[in-house]
Amino acid sequence: MAYKTLVAASTKPLVLSILSHGKSYGYQIIRNIEQLSNGELEWTDAMLYPVLHRMENEGLIESEWIVLENGRKRKYYSLTPLGKKERETVRSQWMNVNIALNRLWRSDLKLDLG
């Protein structure tokens, strides 16, 4: 089970990245996360929706209500241009972390510890 702080920190880049593939809605985002993490990341609505609304306040994503064929309404989210930029920023930040961690975890690494 992934640690809480890591899960919290990763929420924003995950949402931005999922939405970069196209508009989606809350439950679908949760399901995508579950599938992508092989069930390791199980988000609740209490986790996701506040983040979505915060990101919407920050102007990174925008929302719209769409009426479905069965008459129910569903709220879809999509990236704004600012969100796209932010996605690139967080992507490069996480890549840097990923590169550093991958190098550390290589068995043949010799580290200068001073």
Partner 1 sequence: MEPFNLEKAIENWAKELWKQQGLEPGFIEEIKSNLYDRIDDYLSEGYSEERAFLLATEKLMISPEDVADEYFIARTEGTKTAPWKSKSIFSLLPTNIKIGWRNLTKRKVPVVINISGLAISMAVSFLLWLYVSDQLSYDLHLDDAHRVYRVNYDLNLDGQQSVYSNVAQPVGPTLKEEYPEIEEVVRFYGKGPNHSASFQVGDKQIQSTKVFYAEEAFFKVFKIELIAGSADQALREPNSVVISQALAEKLFSGTDVIGKTIQMGQDASRTLKVTAIIKNSFRTHLPVEALISANIPTRTDKHRWLGGHVYTYLLLNELNDIAGLQEKIPAFCEKYISDYFEEKGGSADLLLQPLTSIYLDEEHIWELYPHGNRTNVLIMAVMMLFLLVIAGINYVNLATARSAERAREVGIRKALGSPRRLLIGQFMTESVLLVLFSGVIAIFLCIALLPVFNDLSGLHLSIGTMMTPVNVISILLLSLVIGLLSGCYPAFYLISFVPVNVLKGRFVKGKRADRFRTLLVISQYSLSSILVIGMLFVGEQTRFIMNKELGYNKTNVVSLKVPNDPATSDKLDVFINEVGTKSSVLGVTSSYNSLSVDANANDPIFETPDGNTVYTSMNRIDVGFDFIRTIKGKLITGRDFERTRGESERHSILINEAAVKQYGWENMATNLKLRSKEPDEHGDYYYQQVIGVVSDFSIGPSYQQVAPLMINLNEWGINHVYVRLNGQETFDGIAQIEASWNELFPNYAFDFTFLDQELNNIYAREAKFLSLLRSVSALIIFITSLGIIGLISFTIETRQKEIAIRKINGASIQAILVLLSRKFGWLIIIANCIAAPIAFYFTRQWLFSYEQRIDLSLWPLIWSIVICLTFTCLALIYHSLQAAKTNPVKSLRYE
Which residues of this protein are in contact with partner 1, per CB under 8 A? 25-28, 44-47, 49-51, 53-54, 57, 72-75
Using an 8 Å Cβ cutoff, are 52 and 15 in contact? Answer: yes
User: Minimum distance from CB of 19 to partner 1 (Å)?
Assistant: 16
Where do we find the tokens 């990174």? Answer: 60
User: Minimum distance from CB of 72 to partner 1 (Å)?
Assistant: 6
Which is nearest to 79 in space by CA: 47, 55, 43, 99?
55
User: Minimum distance from CB of 63 to partner 1 (Å)?
Assistant: 9
Where do we find the tokens 């796209």? Answer: 84
Give 11 or 87: the residue with its C-beta nearer to partner 1. Answer: 11
User: Minimum distance from CB of 5 to partner 1 (Å)?
Assistant: 16
- Cα 12 from Cα 87, distance rounded (Å): 9
- Cα 56 from Cα 40, distance rounded (Å): 26
Give 21 or 73: the residue with its C-beta nearer to partner 1. Answer: 73
Using an 8 Å Cβ cutoff, are 103 and 97 in contact? Answer: no
